[in-house]
Amino acid sequence: MRNTLIALFLFAFLAGCSFNPSKDSRGSYKGSYYVVEKGDSVYLISYLADKNVNDIISFNHLKPPYTIHPGQKLNLWRPVYIPPAFDGTGAGDSQIASTSTTKVAQKQSTSPVVQPKSKEYVEPQTTQNNNKTVTQSTSSYAKVGRWVWPTRGRVISKFSVGDQGNKGIDIAGQRGQDVVATAAGVVVYAGNALRGYGNLIIIKHNDEYLSAYAHNDSLLIKEGQSVKTGQKIALMGSTGTNSVRLHFEIRYKGKSVNPEHYLQ
């Protein structure tokens, strides 16, 4: 009997330690890769995995308009570098060194001197991706002048760090209350695919910042749409939660930051 109990304990312990990358009840994702599901976009996956969208694009060698397909496996970390095998003669190393030297010499002798261009605003371009409008990069140097509060109300849950912490703040209010864009940008997601977030909106402000608005009763904007600071984008609700509230997040290069340090 004692041996049976010990065996059951060890089995339960090992099962608890096993690793299975999956979405938890909050809608986050842990793992080194992500298998694309229907309706996913690179922006949604970057939000889900707490990764910078530009890193995901780079790690997977995606080209504009960054089309992805259900079943496709996307790396969430930079692939490990595997050096070429040594053939025992050193010929490969000599050839690589010779080729590199030749290319450098050619580049130095033939490349014209190019003066740096002044930064100019680049108008957003939209393309179609999986029947959804995906906005390519706005201006990487377009700064956010100010961040306004996304709605009126009392903060009932503050930002906290850690895997089980609150990635943003929760603001209490009345059902149907206005939710506004905290800063100007482009809507890169509007839907309810992430468990625990209900009706969710994600706005891209530049190549560094995203903001998110969760638990809305209804959404008033669509993906690919440009919005202005303070523009009404949704009505407050309780989708994905048990009380009327707005869950609001700001992410910098894919990482959650404390919104109260930004809001004015």
Q: Are 162 and 251 in contact (CB under 8 A)?
A: no
Question: Could you tell me the pTM of the whole model?
Answer: 0.65
Tell me phi and psi for residue 74, to 5 degrees. -110, 130
pLDDT, residue 142, reads: 62
Hey, what domains does the chain have and what are their CATH numbers? 137-261 (2.70.70.10)
Burial of 189 from C-beta contacts in 10 A (0-12 / 13-18 / 19+): buried
pLDDT, residue 260, reads: 95
Split the chain (264 residues) into runs of 10 and give each run's mean pLDDT. Answer: 48 36 49 85 85 89 88 83 61 49 48 41 38 42 83 95 86 97 95 90 93 97 95 97 96 92 92
pLDDT, residue 194, reads: 84
Maximum separation of any 2 CA atoms in the chain, in Å: 82
**The dihedral sign for the CA sequence 145, 150, 151, 154:** negative
Chain CA centroid to CA 192, Å: 16
Tell me phi and psi for residue 252, to 5 degrees. -110, 115
Structure tokens at 149: 């509060």
CA pair distance 172, 154, nearest whole angstrom: 6
**The dihedral sign for the CA sequence 23, 24, 27, 28:** negative
Structure tokens at 168: 């943003």
pLDDT, residue 2, reads: 52
Residue 39 vs residues 176, 193, 216: alpha-carbon distances, Å = 27, 8, 19
CA pair distance 232, 171, nearest whole angstrom: 16
pLDDT, residue 28, reads: 63
pLDDT, residue 89, reads: 58
pLDDT, residue 124, reads: 38
Q: Are 173 and 151 in contact (CB under 8 A)?
A: yes
